[in-house]
Chain A
């Protein structure tokens, strides 16, 4: 074969792989980018404002952490064709099943409240009243879900994922110093030593990267999309690309606040957006739009994670490919979860700080259990066959899971007892 024939053959091969990826891509990208939810944006904005570029290296370490945990749900979903909740019920019995399901329901609902808090605060910056934001969001999300096709829902969700990239132009607009980013951010360092404040922020960054709902969501999403064992390779690639994008977005947020707000205490991302507007109106506006989008994307995925899990256990039809008449309880539970969480930020004097605290604490009770179940399920050779964890995968995932459990426990306990580690 001559040179051009070889080139053409290789191009066709690569193009075929790209097309296959585009068909299978979705669950990994959506779950990873939705991981940068309203709470996540606040954590990254606070990280940049407090420590500048100094913790970028730490964020980069979270790429393999997020990937190794989430890719296990791809294999589990594609092989068993069951969601995570159903897999726990079936493999570990009703006790652990109910524990996981009820814990998931509580933590999802509370997290959903924080998403609405983020969205109302973000649009509040542009003068949109909170009640209007809640109504529009609930209507919009219901319309997206009620279209009756998983593919359509996924493509719309991917559209919102694209909007999440708004932090990239924002970072270029603040003209950061590349040499400072490389010098301060890429060399591992702990600015000011390992203080309680730094430790708490590091744990918050881990906590926002791996959340219990992500495990349930991605596995159910893989099942609803109908991925097969042959699709696992591309599903893993999808998850890997998603984990790179999610951490990249986090880094761009850190660059924005690290450049313009370094040394300014930040309580939430909406405050960061307002402060940024004073320096650069467009960057502040981008931060607010990104916060709204992050809350919306988080809300879309979290409310679905709960509805899928309930449908799996109660035996209701629970697919986005079904119409309302075919799966009424699936859609009713989705709507109730969404609407009740949306009402909370509208209640005058609602204990929003307490809710944020509860999210951290209750997530800590569910995350270790979900992660332990995940590893045990991936070691069930009878079910997983050739897709069971290898020795190397077990070593890597066990190190990651044990580290996450220790750090997230300390995070949860320090949220309960703020003076304990001082």
Chain B
């Protein structure tokens, strides 16, 4: 239990340490990150769709 708590505290500490992105958020950076989010979202949707169709076949 103590180890789990230590691990959770460590994750919190990391999240806090890197809470604010240091790269200058220019328009190019913002657009790139937005496109990346959409790309990854679509990919995850495709994977979930594939998973559901495979499960249905089984």
Contacts and interface: CB of A to CB of B under 8 A. Distances in A.
B36 interface: yes
Given A89-B18, A90-B22, A413 B46 contact: yes
Contacts of A299: none
A91 B22 contact: yes
Interface in B5-19: 10, 14-15, 18-19
Contacts of A372: 32, 36
Given A94-B18, A372-B36, 20 more contacts: A89-B18, A90-B18, A91-B21, A91-B22, A92-B33, A93-B19, A93-B20, A93-B21, A94-B14, A99-B40, A314-B14, A365-B40, A365-B43, A369-B36, A369-B40, A376-B23, A377-B23, A380-B24, A409-B39, A413-B46
Interface of A: 89-94, 96-97, 99, 313-314, 361, 364-365, 368-369, 372, 376-377, 379-380, 382, 409, 412-413, 416-417
Nearest to A405: B39
A418 B9 CA distance: 44
Interface of B: 10, 14-15, 18-24, 28-29, 32-33, 36, 39-40, 43-44, 46-47, 50
A161 B25 CA distance: 41
B47 A416 contact: yes
7 contacts: A94-B19, A96-B33, A365-B40, A365-B44, A369-B40, A409-B43, A416-B47
A97 B18 contact: yes
Nearest to B39: A368
A104 to B, nearest CB: 14
A97 B46 CA distance: 23
